């Protein structure tokens, strides 16, 4: 244990000379951060890993292909010594001391004048962990815990409210609260107001602090016909009041989620909008049920379509006849009550009546269940099995590939 702990400081290296001795794995790990800091990097090494060589070829660093020589640290602000030659490391360290250059030693931290902290990044913040004595595993573990907490919202550090008010359109994923993105979860943890869809990950709402106002989008006044307009108005009203607003949606905001309508309304009102993509149920729910939407030798494409209006409805924008001629996978969302007419249309257009169909209800949640049928039998199967929305319907040979996956405990 040293007599005194290291003094933590952040170096601003933009345009300043940094010398790296050795082009091996240590340099490969450390160089990206030095490049990101804008340092003028000189690498001195007879050889380098392919990744380090690529940095030199790309003009990100200057590489002198030789061993260390006295004088290499002249005019340097910072040095990283990481060669396999202990004598060269000792000589370079002595030169750094003589020229008052802060120096990191990969072979002997106790002989160095500086230590590299375990660092991580989250939302514009750099987390750097230093121990009172070199202990890379412990500092890395602490770093990982802090960064993970900041990213997933379990460690909440709200921004100052002087920032420009705005709205985040967050895709919550298919239903399992663990399947929201880390950015979405962090924004949710920082929100003042959350306007949530019925199909969003409802379990996450219970984790919000008591002061957070939660608005059920399905119960906003004005009735069903005016619901979207009411949602838009609520987003604008709360954002203009200076609050941090999250619009929590199921799946992805731009996959049958009316996210663009809300983004356009916010733009017209002059309110900043951030879109956080989510895992779409069109892919994740079949996957959770053991169904690949593509599979080598079976399906080379998949098409996602809304089934909320029937094929013979004049409001339909879907070319069902064209879909019937495709050989790949067809994923139908919001189509449980129309699946009978959809199946008839597909068969009439050329799809074989025995084409496999899988219906996955409440996908990725504890209530998930899978019901299998064919295009010829799916209508009666839905009625007999009492399949209800939300359910993702998969049409195609992939529904017959493999079987249910065994969950990992």
Domains of the chain: 1-116 (3.40.50.720), 166-276 (3.40.1010.10), 282-400 (3.30.950.10)
| Half-sphere exposure of residue 197: CA atoms within 13 angstroms, side-chain side | 23
236 or 186, which is more confident? Answer: 236
pLDDT at 155: 73
Burial (0-12, 13-18, 19+ Cβ within 10 Å), 403: exposed
142 or 368, which is more confident? Answer: 368
pLDDT at 180: 93
The lowest-confidence range among 123-132, 250-259, 304-313 is: 123-132
304 or 111, which is more confident? Answer: 304
pLDDT at 138: 83
**Mean pLDDT of all residues in 396-407:** 76
pLDDT at 159: 56
Burial (0-12, 13-18, 19+ Cβ within 10 Å), 73: buried
Q: pLDDT class for 144, splitting at 50, 70, 90?
A: confident
pLDDT at 162: 45
Whether 299 has a pLDDT exceeding 90, the answer reads yes
Q: pLDDT class for 408, splitting at 50, 70, 90?
A: very low
Q: pLDDT class for 301, splitting at 50, 70, 90?
A: very high
| Close Cβ partners of 206 (under 8 Å, ≥ 6 residues apart) | none
403 or 104, which is more confident? Answer: 104
Query: Any catalytic annotation for residue 197?
Result: yes
Whether 219 has a pLDDT exceeding 70, the answer reads no
Query: Any catalytic annotation for residue 219?
Result: yes
Rg (CA), the chain: 29
| Half-sphere exposure of residue 107: CA atoms within 13 angstroms, side-chain side | 15
Whether 103 has a pLDDT exceeding 70, the answer reads yes
**Mean pLDDT of all residues in 301-318:** 94
Q: pLDDT class for 236, splitting at 50, 70, 90?
A: very high
**Mean pLDDT of all residues in 4-25:** 91
Distance separating alpha carbons of residues 262 and 282, to the nearest angstrom: 22
pTM of the complete model: 0.66
Burial (0-12, 13-18, 19+ Cβ within 10 Å), 98: exposed
Nearest Cα neighbor of 233 from 205, 210, 261 is 261
Q: Which run of H or of E encompasses 178?
A: none
**Mean pLDDT of all residues in 10-27:** 94
233 or 165, which is more confident? Answer: 233
Nearest Cα neighbor of 124 from 154, 92, 97, 160 is 160
Nearest Cα neighbor of 66 from 23, 18, 96 is 23
Q: Which of the residues 152, 197, 252, 372 is marked catalytic?
A: 197
Structure tokens at 364: 């990725």
Token pair 């790949």 in the structure block, residue: 328
- Name the β-bridge partners of 173: 251
Q: CA separation (Å) from 394 to 70, 255, 336, 356?
A: 69, 17, 11, 8
Nearest Cα neighbor of 154 from 126, 128, 177, 124 is 177
297 or 130, which is more confident? Answer: 297
Q: Provide the CA 404 distance to its chain's centre, in angstroms.
A: 26
**Mean pLDDT of all residues in 230-235:** 92
Whether 168 has a pLDDT exceeding 60, the answer reads yes
Residue 184 near residue 172, CB atoms below 8 Å: yes
Distance separating alpha carbons of residues 200 and 62, to the nearest angstrom: 51
Whether 259 has a pLDDT exceeding 90, the answer reads yes
Count the residues in the chain: 409
pLDDT at 189: 85
Q: Convert 168-185 to b/e letters by CB count within 10 Å (16 or more is b).
A: bbbbbbbbbbebbbebbb
Structure tokens at 279: 């895992």
pLDDT at 164: 53
Structure tokens at 308: 């909320």
pLDDT at 131: 77
Per the prediction, the chain carries an average pLDDT of 89
**Mean pLDDT of all residues in 307-328:** 93
| Close Cβ partners of 319 (under 8 Å, ≥ 6 residues apart) | none
Angle CA 304–399–331, to nearest 5: 10
pLDDT at 135: 72
pLDDT at 120: 80
């Amino acid at each position: 244990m040293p007599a005194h702990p290291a003094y933590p400081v952040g170096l601003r290296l933009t345009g300043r000379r940094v010398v790296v001795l050795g082009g091996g794995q240590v340099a490969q790990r450390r160089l990206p951060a030095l490049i990101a800091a804008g340092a003028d990097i000189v690498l001195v090494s007879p050889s380098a890993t392919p990744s380090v060589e690529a940095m030199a070829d790309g003009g990100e660093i200057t590489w002198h292909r030789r061993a260390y020589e006295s004088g290499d640290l002249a005019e340097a602000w910072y040095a990283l010594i990481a060669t396999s030659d202990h004598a060269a490391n000792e000589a370079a360290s002595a030169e750094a001391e003589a020229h008052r250059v802060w120096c990191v030693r990969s072979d002997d931290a106790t002989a160095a004048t500086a230590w590299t902290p375990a660092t991580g990044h989250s939302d514009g913040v750099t987390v750097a962990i230093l121990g009172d004595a070199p202990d890379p595993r412990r500092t890395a573990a602490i770093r990982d815990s802090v960064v993970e907490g900041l990213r997933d919202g379990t460690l909440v550090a709200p921004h100052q409210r002087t920032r420009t008010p705005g709205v985040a359109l967050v895709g919550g994923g298919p239903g399992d609260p663990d399947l929201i993105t880390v950015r979405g979860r962090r924004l949710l943890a920082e929100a003042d107001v959350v306007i949530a869809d019925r199909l969003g990950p409802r379990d996450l709402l219970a984790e919000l602090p008591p002061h957070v106002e939660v608005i059920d989008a399905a119960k906003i006044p004005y009735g069903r016909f005016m619901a979207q307009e009411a949602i838009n108005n609520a987003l604008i009203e709360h954002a203009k009041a200076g609050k941090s607003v999250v619009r929590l949606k199921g799946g992805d905001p731009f996959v049958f989620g009316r996210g663009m309508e809300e983004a356009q309304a916010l733009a017209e009102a002059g309110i900043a909008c951030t879109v956080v993509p989510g895992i779409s149920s069109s892919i994740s729910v079949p996957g959770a049920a053991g169904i690949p939407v593509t599979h080598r030798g079976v399906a080379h494409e998949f098409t996602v379509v809304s089934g909320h209006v029937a094929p013979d409805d004049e409001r339909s924008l879907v070319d069902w006849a064209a879909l019937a001629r495709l050989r790949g996978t067809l994923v139908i969302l919001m189509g449980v009550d129309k699946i009978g007419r959809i199946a008839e249309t597909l068969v009439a257009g050329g799809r074989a009546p025995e084409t496999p169909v899988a219906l996955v209800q409440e996908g990725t949640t504890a209530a998930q269940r899978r019901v299998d049928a064919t295009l010829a039998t799916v209508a009666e199967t839905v009625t007999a099995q009492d399949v209800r929305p939300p359910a993702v319907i998969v049409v195609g040979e992939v529904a017959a590939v493999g079987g249910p996956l065994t969950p990992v405990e």
